[in-house]
Structure 1
């Protein structure tokens, strides 16, 4: 491959894109900076103009992933229209859609071992994504008596964990795992059981 990274004017992004392809293929620890440089079509020395090491490169991939993720969740929630329940369920489906469409970003975010506190920008992007779920949980549970209402942070964390579990076990083609039901159905029914337990969904809904 020629040194195309020098010519398209955005070497930094070319390296991030290269790392995403390598993450999908080999995992976050399965490639070197030299491989990322070769994939991007530049010399290894060029990488260090933008990143101090592989973890910095993966952190940038995670940052971009969280920004996309937050935008997708925000779009799915759509200010709670047409109802808080419908909007909340859409955010769960958006989680599955993100994991499928952006597998490299997903791994960089959740499986690379990179702390979201590594940089202020990364923490801000991650917290914005979680903030969408927390806001959705808060609006959905407004009519629950205060003494029975779970904190929005706990509510959204439960849904995040449920969504993440369905993604990890059944939506990403994990070896040896096969669900008898579509991941979307598993997630929707799981959220339904949880919401019924809170009294937010009628038993026959």
Structure 2
């Protein structure tokens, strides 16, 4: 591919697109900034006008991913209303849908080893997506007496961890991805068991 130089189109967006493909192929730590430059059709020197290193490029992708993720979670939460339970379950399904549709963003967000506090922009973006699930947890647990109610942040963190585990083990093309049940069913069943344990939904007959 011929080098098109620094004035090639929207270089920043082109580098993000190139890095997303590399992340999907090699993981967030499996490529170099020079590879991203080559795939974007520019010289490595041009990249440094926009990003100081690979981590900064990954942070850009993670910020973008958290924004997409939060929009999707908010849409799922609002679409599930007026039932707090339906809204909560919808956010769980949205988690799986995001991981499938945006694998490069997902890996940059959760598998790069970069702290969500690395930059103010990343901290703000990640907090927004987390707050959607916390709001769903808070709505669902309102009828539990306050002294027995789990903190919304803990409640949502448990569901987040469960969702992440289902994605990693059964919803991705990894060695452990074969499962006897669809990932959505695994997650819905797991959430059901958790919510019954909290007394949020009635036990099965």
TM-score bracket relative to the smaller structure: over 0.9
Q: Which blocks of at least 5 consecutive residues in structure 1 are unaligned?
A: none
Asked if 1 retains the 8 angstrom alpha-carbon contact of 2:78 and 2:87, the reply is yes
Partner Cα separation in structure 1 for residue 8 and residue 157 of structure 2: 41
**Residues 10-42 of structure 1: CA deviation (Å, up to 9, x unaligned):** 110110110010010011121111110010111
Distance 1:119 1:140 in 2: 32
SS of corresponding position for 1:153? helix
Q: Please list, as runs of the form range in 1=range in 2, the aligned pairs for 1:89-104 lying within 5 A after superposition.
A: 89-104=89-104
Give the aligned partner of residue 45 of structure 2. 45
User: Partner of 1:2 in structure 2?
Assistant: 2
Contact kept? 1:4, 1:40, Cα under 8 Å: no
Kindly state the Cα deviation for residue 175 of structure 1 after the two structures are TM-superposed.
1.1
Cα distance in 2, alignment partners of residues 96 and 4 from structure 1:
38
Q: Is the 8 A contact 2:170 2:176 kept in 1?
A: no
Closer/same/farther in 2, CA of residues 153 and 5 from structure 1, 3 Å limit: farther
Map of 1:126 onto structure 2:
126
Cα deviation, residue 82, structure 1: 2.7
Gaps of 5+ in 2: none
Q: Secondary structure at the match of 2:74?
A: helix
Measure how far apart 1:47 and its partner are: 0.2
Matched, 1:141 2:141: yes
Deviates more, 1:124-133 or 1:167-176: 167-176
Write the distance in 2 (CA, Å) between the matches of 1:116 and 1:4: 34
Let me know the Cα RMSD of the aligned residues: 1.5
How far apart, CA to CA, are the structure 2 residues paired with 1:2 and 1:75? Answer: 42
Say if 1:5 and 1:199 are closer, same or farther in 2 by CA, change over 3 A. farther
Query: TM-score if structure 1 supplies the norm length?
Result: 0.95
Distance 2:177 2:70 in 1: 28
Q: 1:43 to 1:192 in 2, by over 3 A?
A: same
Aligned to 1:161: 161
Residue equivalent to 2:108:
108
Equivalent residues of 2:137, 2:155 under 8 A apart: yes
Alpha-carbon shift at residue 58 of structure 1 (Å): 0.7
Pick which of 174-183 and 188-197 moved more. Answer: 174-183
Aligned length in residues: 205
- 1-structure distance, mates of 2:40, 2:10: 11
Counterpart of 1:54 in structure 2 is: 54
Partner residue of 1:68? 68
Taking structure 1 as reference, are residues 159 and 27 closer, same or farther at Cα in structure 2, changes over 3 Å only? same
